[in-house]
Structure 1
Amino acid sequence: MHHMDNLRGIDLNLLVVLDALLAERHVSRAAARLNMSQPAVSHALARLRVLFDDPLLIRRGGQLVASARALEIAPVLEEALRQMRVVFGPGDFDPAKEKRTFRLAMSDYGSAVILPELTRLLRLEAPGIDLVINQSSREAMVRQVLDGECDLALGVFPDLPERLEAGPLISENFACLADRESMPGKERLDMEAYLSRPHVLVAMKDGANTEVDTALRAAGHQRRIAVTLPHWGNAPRLIQGTDLVLTVARNALVPYESDPTLIIFEPPFTIPSFPFVQVWHERRGGDPAHIWLRDAVSGVAISLGR
C-alpha cells in the first residue's frame, strides 16, 4: 500500500464519499445523502477503487456488498471523519437548508403517536427533509437498521444486537377503552366485569400485544377475545356501540380522549410498562442530520409524556 503513505495525494472528499457509500451500500442513496449526482458518486467510487487497489463494493444480486478490505476501512474511516467533524464543528449543518430523505421503520402505533407531531416539526424547521415510513415486524426492522436500509426504527426492542444503539422515547403504560353507554354510571371496570366482557386484541407481532394476556395469566385469569385484528388503527371504532373492551398502550388512545361516546380507564390489574425506543446503527452516530432527526423524535416523545 505504498501509495497510501502520502496523504497529500488524497482528496479528502473522496473519503467522505467512501464513508457514505459504506454506510448506505447504495449509490443513489449515498448520492442523495451527499447532495451529489449519481454519476459523480460512481466516478468517485472508481477513483477510490484505484486508490485502494480493491473493488471495495461488489454488486451481488442487485445489492452492493462490502469487500473484506472495505469492512476493515469502514470503522476507521467513520471514526476519523467523526473526529474531524467535531474539530470543524457542526457549523455546516442547517436543518432549514438540508435536503435529504430519511427512512424510518415503525408500527402503526409509532406512526399514530410520533408521526403527526414529527411531520409538523419537519415542515416548519426542515422542509427539505423527506420521510419514507415503512412498517414491518420487529425482527425485520432490526435487520433493516443493520443493513443500512433504514435510518431509524421506532418500537419495542427487548434485545438489540451489537452495533445498534437505542434511545428511550416513552415508558408506555396500558389503558382500557370501552363504550360509555355500555357501563352506565361507572368510570371503570373491576376485575370481574373486565373478565365478563369480550375483548379486542391487536396482534401485530410487535410484542406490545401479549403483555396484557401474560399479566392476566400471572394473576390466574383468562379473557375471551372476540375480535383479533392486525392494526389497532381501526380497533377503537369497533368499541363504539358494543360491549367490547380494548386494552392497549395509553398513548394510542390520546386521539379518543375527547370522544364523549368512549371512556378510557385503568386496567383492573397490573400490566408492566414497556419502553418504546428509537434505534439506529452506530455508524449513523455522528451524522449531524441524523442527530438532528433523533433529537426531533425525542422532543416529540417528551412533549407526549407531558
Structure 2
Amino acid sequence: MRFEMPALLPAPAFAARPMSDDDLTRIDLNLLVVFSALIETGSVTRAAERLRSSQPAVSRSLARLRELFDDPLLIKSGKEMVPTPRALALKGPVAAALGDIRRLFKPAGFDPAIDRRRFRVSSTDYGVLSVLAPVMGELATTSNIEIAVDPLSDDDHQKLASGALDMVIIGRTPERPELYRRRLFTERRACLVREHHPITRDPDVMAGRPPTIDACLAWPHVVITVLGDLTGSHVARQLRRLDKRRQVAVQMPYFSVAPLLIEQSDALLILPERAAKRFAEARGLVMFEAPDVFGTFDYWLVWHERARRDPALHWLIERITATVGDPACA
C-alpha cells in the first residue's frame, strides 16, 4: 500500500525569516478578524453571517490566511470545520492582537484608579501652596498619581512644547498662541508684618483700610522676586510710575521663607493675599490690605497645544479647578 502526502501550499517569502515592516504592509489585518470569526464559529457560512459578509468573500479570506500561515488552519469534518494545531496555537495571540488594536482606537480616557501618571509642573512655592496643596487630599487617595514640581523658568514655554513639562502655574497672563490657559482666580495683594509692628497703629490699618503707599514705604521691605527680576514685578512697575522708591532689605525667590525674615524685624512683606492669610495664621503675623495702587492679578493654569487632547492632564486640570477655581473666573 502506498500513501501520498497532500501537497503543501507554498510558504510566503517571509515565512523563514523575521517579518519586516515591508512584510507587514503587504498583510491585510482584516484577515485576523476573519480568522477569529472562523475559529469561533467553525463554519464559513456562520463566519460570513457574523461578519455581515458573503460566503465567497470569507472563503477567499480563508485561502489567503492559509497562504499567510502556511497551514490549512481549518479542515472539513462532516458539516463542521475543525481547527488544526496551528490554528489552535494562533487563537490566543490573534485574540490578544485584536484586543490591542481595539484599545488603540478606543477614545482616550484616564482613570486614576488604574492608570499611572507622573505630571511635571512648573510653579513658585506660592503656586504650590495656593493651588496644589488644596488638591493634595484628593490626589493622595491614589498611588497612581505623582506630581513633580520644577521652579518657574524663562524657558517654560519651550519645556511645554517639548513635553518636559505638562503644565505651568503662573500669575501672569500667557500670550503665546500655542499655549492654552485656564484662569483660576483673581488675587489681591496684602501686607504682612510682625505682631506689634508700628504700622499696625496706623489709623487706616486700625480702621480696616489699606494704608497709604507712603506709610508702607516708610519701612524696609522683604521682596519676593519671580525669575529673579526685581525691576519687572508689578509692584516695582507701579512704584516707578509713581516715582517712588522702597528700601529693599532682602530680595529672595521664596514665598514660604520670606515671612521668617519679618518676625524679628520691622520689615514689611507684600505678597498674594492667599499666602498672606496662611502665613499670618501659622506664624502669628499681622495681615492687612496692600495699597489699592498695587492692584490685583490673575492666576493661571497653562499648557501646550500638544497636550490639548491629553485626558490625564485634563483630569488634573478639572480637579484643580473644582477645588481652588473661582466660579466667577470660569
| 2:197 paired residue among 166, 178, 182 | 182
Q: Identity, % of aligned pairs?
A: 25
Verify the 8 A CA contact 2:186 2:297 in the aligned structure 1: yes
2:207 equivalent to 1:191: no
Summarize the alignment of residues 110-259 of structure 1 with structure 2, pairs less than 5 Å apart: 110-124=127-141, 126-137=142-153, 139-183=154-198, 185-186=201-202, 187=205, 189-205=211-227, 210-259=233-282
Q: Given residue 179 of structure 1, which amino acid in structure 2 is its aligned partner?
A: R
Verify the 8 A CA contact 2:118 2:145 in the aligned structure 1: yes
The TM-score, its normalising length taken from structure 2, stands at: 0.60
1:174 is displaced (CA, Å) by 0.9
> What does the per-residue CA deviation read over 1:52-80, in whole Å, with 9 as the maximum and x for residues that have no partner?
xxxxxxxxxxxxxxxxxxxxxxxxxxxxx
Verify the 8 A CA contact 1:100 1:130 in the aligned structure 2: yes
Gaps of 5+ in 1: 11-83
- Report the structure, 1 or 2, having the larger helix content: 1
Verify the 8 A CA contact 1:154 1:278 in the aligned structure 2: yes
> What does the per-residue CA deviation read over 1:152-198, in whole Å, with 9 as the maximum and x for residues that have no partner?
11113434323221111121221111112113544364333212111
The aligned counterpart of 1:21 is none
Report SS of the residue matched to 1:256: helix
- 234-243 or 203-212, which moves further after superposition? 203-212
Q: Identify if the C-alpha distance between structure 1 residues 297 and 133 changes in structure 2 by more than 3 Å, giving closer, same or farther.
A: same
- Counterpart CA distance in 2 for 1:176 and 1:255 is 13
The TM-score, its normalising length taken from structure 1, stands at: 0.65
The aligned counterpart of 1:264 is 287
Summarize the alignment of residues 35-184 of structure 1 with structure 2, pairs less than 5 Å apart: 93-124=110-141, 126-137=142-153, 139-183=154-198
- Counterpart CA distance in 1 for 2:326 and 2:292 is 28
Verify the 8 A CA contact 2:220 2:248 in the aligned structure 1: yes
Q: Given residue 307 of structure 2, which amino acid in structure 1 is its aligned partner?
A: R
Verify the 8 A CA contact 2:160 2:167 in the aligned structure 1: yes
2:317 equivalent to 1:294: yes
1:94 is displaced (CA, Å) by 2.1
Report SS of the residue matched to 2:309: coil
- Counterpart CA distance in 1 for 2:190 and 2:196 is 18
- Counterpart CA distance in 1 for 2:167 and 2:131 is 13
The aligned counterpart of 2:96 is none
Gaps of 5+ in 2: 1-21, 31-101
1:129 is displaced (CA, Å) by 1.2
Provide the alpha-carbon RMSD of the alignment.
3.3
Report SS of the residue matched to 1:132: strand
Runs of 4+ in structure 1 over 4 Å off:
2-8, 87-90, 206-209, 303-306
1:260 is displaced (CA, Å) by 7.1
- 140-149 or 254-263, which moves further after superposition? 254-263
- Counterpart CA distance in 2 for 1:131 and 1:8 is 43
> What does the per-residue CA deviation read over 1:220-265, in whole Å, with 9 as the maximum and x for residues that have no partner?
3221111111212211111113110101111221312425741111
The aligned counterpart of 1:57 is none
Report SS of the residue matched to 1:201: strand
- Counterpart CA distance in 1 for 2:106 and 2:133 is 35
The aligned counterpart of 1:282 is 305
Verify the 8 A CA contact 1:156 1:206 in the aligned structure 2: no
> What does the per-residue CA deviation read over 1:83-124, in whole Å, with 9 as the maximum and x for residues that have no partner?
x99x9666x532222212111111122112122222221112
> What does the per-residue CA deviation read over 1:35-66, in whole Å, with 9 as the maximum and x for residues that have no partner?
xxxxxxxxxxxxxxxxxxxxxxxxxxxxxxxx
Q: Max radius of gyration: which structure?
A: 2
Q: Identify if the C-alpha distance between structure 1 residues 256 and 303 changes in structure 2 by more than 3 Å, giving closer, same or farther.
A: farther
- Counterpart CA distance in 2 for 1:232 and 1:305 is 26
Q: Identify if the C-alpha distance between structure 1 residues 155 and 225 changes in structure 2 by more than 3 Å, giving closer, same or farther.
A: same
Verify the 8 A CA contact 1:156 1:207 in the aligned structure 2: no
- Counterpart CA distance in 1 for 2:328 and 2:270 is 19
Verify the 8 A CA contact 1:177 1:245 in the aligned structure 2: yes
1:147 is displaced (CA, Å) by 0.9
Verify the 8 A CA contact 2:110 2:315 in the aligned structure 1: no
